[in-house]
Amino acid sequence: MSTVRRVRVELGERGYDVLVGRGLLGRAGELLAEVLDGPEAVLVTDSHLLATDLPGRVGRSLEAAGLRYRTVVVPAGEASKSLERLAALLEAILEGGADRRLAVLALGGGMIGDLAGLAAALLLRGVPFVQLPTSLLAQVDSSVGGKTGVNSRFGKNLVGAFWQPRRVLIDVEALSTLPRRELLAGYAELVKHAFIKDRALFDWLDRHVEPLLGGDPDLRIEAIARSVAIKAAVVGADERETGGERALLNFGHTFAHAYETLTGYGAELLHGEAVALGMAQAFALSTRLGRCPAADAEAARAHLARVGLPVRPSAVRRGGFPVEETLALMRRDKKATGGKLTFVLATGIGRAELARDVDEAEVRALLAGDG
């Protein structure tokens, strides 16, 4: 059996392990039994995953470990991250009978984890929760750290709760059917952790990224475990994003959110692609402001471009995006204050800081140059 990497999220009595390895979903029962309170579980998954053998693999292992489970299926797609779907999910779980020892297991990508996690936080004022992420994005980002939520018609993730899982099982075999484009979008969040905290991880990724994306399971385990360890440390230091540390995970996101709004959060630009573009621009802005060596910004941009992620607006939409509209969206960003824009800036690869005083003229000049 190949290695299983264990990353601890240190949160006192709410602390938990993230396990990264091959074939972990087929061992879910034995790997979860010790962290659950009772023998009953609800497996929440989506309609796309139901067509794969993953729910069956998890289900058989739960039964083999003496756990009883039932499955609730949610329509695939971001539209299911809604208040209506949350209500339907809660009712479906309650219909089958629930007590406070019931565990909610989220098998899927970010949507399933966010939705099922919020359901777990609300059910009977909180029941045990487990993340079984199947997309690279969910594995390196949304499954770790306890953010759960659904969207409102007034914005994304506006209704949510911090509800930490009891355990996260990251099975690299779940990635084998993930479309290349989604894999790359997830990779953007993986390398983001290196950009903000770990130069050595970036250098390692730069050497190994092709076989890693090509499917080498050991490289994937190593990359995911090291990336998750960074996220785990950040969450352990600032669980509720009140101390400034967790905000660093928003590197690239001020740009990204503007582009996602302009493209309608659809197939034209996936979240991870928007983040890649936003990170390339955040590096360029950091250099422009004299905070980051140009060589680092260029190395980061070249790495993202090499794997096929967008690093210029014109790569997403011919002619780019209207500069003033982009700026207006950034101004509306909840972090903007008094005419100054807030960004996470890099002071080099592996070092980031929050800047609340970025001059809009500098951002305008960057955007005008397709930066």
Residues that bind ligand GLY (CB under 6 A): 141, 145, 147, 246, 249
Minimal distance, residue 114 CB to ligand GLY, in Å:
11
Asked if 360 is an active-site residue, the reply is no
**Residue 250 or 287: which CB sits closer to ligand GLY?**
250
Concerning whether 298 is annotated as a catalytic residue, the answer is: no
Q: How far is the CB of 52 from ligand GLY (least distance, A)?
A: 26
Active site residue 156: no
Q: Is 257 a catalytic residue?
A: yes
- Smallest distance, ligand GLY to C-beta of residue 144, A: 7
335 is catalytic: no
Q: What is d(CA 206, CA 191) in angstroms, rounded to the nearest whole number?
A: 10
**Which of 253, 288, 301, 303 is the catalytic position?**
253
CB of 246 to ligand GLY, least distance (A): 5
> Which member of 78, 173, 241, 353 is catalytic?
241
- Token pair recorded at residue 177: 């059917």
85, 257, 303, 351: which one is catalytic? 257
Could you tell me which residues come within 8 angstroms of residue 118 by beta carbon, excluding any fewer than 6 positions away?
A: 86, 148, 149, 150, 159, 160, 161, 163
Question: Which of 22, 166, 167, 250 is an active site residue?
Answer: 250
Distance CA 283, CA 70 (A): 47
CB 136 within 8 A of CB 187: yes
CA distance 343 to 245: 13
The DSSP bridge partners found for residue 297 are none
Q: Which is nearer to ligand GLY, 55 or 145 (CB)?
A: 145
Q: Which residue type sits at 219?
A: L
Least distance to ligand GLY from the beta carbon of 18, Å? 13
Residue with Cβ nearer ligand GLY (52 or 157): 157
Smallest gap from Cβ 247 to ligand GLY, in A, equals 8
CA distance linking residue 232 with residue 243, whole number of Å? 15
Catalytic pick among 231, 288, 303, 351: 231
CB nearer ligand GLY, residue 309 or residue 367: 309
Helix axes 217-237, 180-197, angle to 10 degrees: 50
Compute the least distance from the CB of residue 362 to ligand GLY, in Å. Answer: 25
**Cα 290 to Cα 348: distance, rounded to the nearest angstrom:** 11
Helix/strand/coil percentages in the chain, nearest 5: 55, 20, 25
Q: Is residue 262 a contact partner of residue 329, using CB atoms and an 8 Å limit?
A: yes
The one catalytic residue among 85, 192, 220, 271: 271
Closer by beta carbon to ligand GLY, 22 or else 197? 197
Cβ-Cβ contacts under 8 Å for 319 (sequence gap 6 or more): none
Q: How far is CA 121 from CA 74, 152, 207, 370, in A?
A: 18, 18, 41, 43
- Between 219 and 249, whose beta carbon lies closer to ligand GLY? 249
Residue whose CB is less far from ligand GLY, 69 or 251: 251
Burial classification of residue 290, based on how many CB atoms lie within 10 Å of its CB (0-12 exposed, 13-18 middle, 19 or more buried): exposed
Nearest residue to ligand GLY, scored by beta-carbon proximity: 249
**Sequence-ordered strand ranges (E) for 164-255:** 167-171
DSSP state string for 190-205: HHHHHHHH-HHHHHHH
Answer yes or no: 241 catalytic.
yes
Catalytic annotation, pick one of 22, 167, 246, 301:
246
Contact 26, 38 (CB under 8 A): no
303 is catalytic: no
State yes or no: is 147 an active-site residue: yes
Query: What residue type is 336 in one-letter code?
Result: A
Please identify every residue annotated as catalytic.
Answer: 125, 147, 189, 231, 241, 246, 250, 253, 257, 271
